[in-house]
Amino acid sequence: MSVPARELGRYRLEDLLGRGGMASVYRGVDEELGRPVAVKLLAEHFAGDNEIRRRFLREARIAGALNHPNIVSVYDIGERDGCPFIVMELVEGESLADLLARDGPLEPGRAVELALQACAGLEHAHRAGLVHRDVKPANLLIRRDGTLKVADFGIARVAAAATTLTQAGAILGTASYLAPEQAEGGEVTARADVYALGAVLYELLAGRPPFVAESIQELVLGQQRAQIEPLVDVAPGLEGVVLWALARDPAARPDSAAELGRELARTTTELPTRRLEQTTRVRTRRRRRVPRPRTGRRGAVLGAVALTLIALGAGVSLGMREDSKPAPPPRATGSPATDAQALARWLRAQSR
């Protein structure tokens, strides 16, 4: 891809941040607002395809309507010399792929914290009718304050179209994270994102994806024939949730990212929401020394995320009772202590 003009209207391009098969991303500056941004430029060999360009801009508009702390914000879209671009929030930090390459497998509590944030972002997108289709470590960005951001919503469906229109049988994203139905060309729903997040979480715990494949064909064969290797030094409860997300049959997986997040939150006492132990029944191992919860902005963010997912899951499960009409769960305020007390009162009221 040739070097683009350094000015795209009000946006000044600076350093190249990354380049993939679909697009390149540059650090930029919005000169009207004086804020840093990330600018994604569609690759030239796709920019000449009217259908790809149309889908690229359409999906960017849909992604631009999402407003959630765990999703990279889309600020603007445009086109310059026939090449469309997307202007997004600049996430100062690193991707999960970078973190894994540097540190290897993560401690289970940390892995669950990150997965919970991804669940919250994906659930918001799914409720808006947008399936990511390419959840992988490189598309999960960690800001310096610990906030995880799901990236590339605006290009996922376009990548699927490009695969179909230009390179039949080529890999969309990284093959190792594709759900079986997606790899086999079947219907892709939100449960494909649940599977992909399960594969990411498996890698965070094991240091490798559940299936390592260099092509879609190799992945399909592996998913059909191979058994997923057990996780080492991981509590059975957490391993069970991960394997649940990785079920081959979409109907056998969690119904939603919120349900996955609710069950993940139950597997650890090391989240900032551990204060719930004071007012609700939480299973812990006898004489286990539980570390103090982390504090600061990162703790507040993760606390609000976990509380939101637990409340959503509780509301769904209680709402399935035909003879009861539960009140809506309390809204997260951003304060783990306040939210924990409100949620505990709500849960006690629903159990009467």
Asked if the model's pLDDT at residue 311 lies above 60, the reply is no
Tell me which architecture the domain covering 7-89 has in CATH: 2-Layer Sandwich (3.30)
Beta partners for residue 176, in sequence order: none
- Mean pLDDT to the nearest integer, 154-165: 49
- Separation of alpha carbons 341 and 349, rounded Å: 13
Q: Which of 30, 134, 152, 339 is catalytic?
A: 134
* Percent of the chain whose predicted confidence (pLDDT) is above 90: 46
DSSP-derived letter for residue 15 is E
The DSSP string of 163-214 is: HHHH-TT--SS-GGG--HHHHTT----HHHHHHHHHHHHHHHHHSS-SS--S
Tokens coding 70: 């765990």
Per-domain boundaries in the chain: 7-89, 270-352
Task: Tell if the pTM clears 0.75, that is, is over it.
Answer: no
Beta partners for residue 35, in sequence order: 30
Residue 248 or 48, more confident = 248
Burial letters for 102-116: b for 16+ Cβ neighbours within 10 Å, e otherwise? eeebbebbbbbbbbb
Asked if the model's pLDDT at residue 166 lies above 50, the reply is no
Tokens coding 246: 């990785």
The Cα-based distances of 40 to 11, 138, 172, 213 in angstroms read: 12, 15, 18, 27
- Separation of alpha carbons 340 and 271, rounded Å: 12
The three-state secondary structure class of 79 is strand
The DSSP string of 98-141 is: HHHHHH-SPPHHHHHHHHHHHHHHHHHHHHTT---S---GGGEE
pLDDT at position 34, please?
95
Asked if the model's pLDDT at residue 299 lies above 80, the reply is no
Spatial CB neighbours of 276, under 8 Å, sequence gap ≥ 6: 282, 340, 343, 344
Residue 198 or 20, more confident = 198
Has 81 been annotated as catalytic? no
Contact 183, 219 (CB under 8 A): yes
- Separation of alpha carbons 131 and 44, rounded Å: 25
Asked if the model's pLDDT at residue 163 lies above 50, the reply is no
- Mean pLDDT to the nearest integer, 286-312: 46
- Mean pLDDT to the nearest integer, 6-13: 90
CB atoms within 10 A of CB 337: 13
Structure confidence at residue 113 as a pLDDT band (50, 70, 90): very high
Spatial CB neighbours of 54, under 8 Å, sequence gap ≥ 6: none
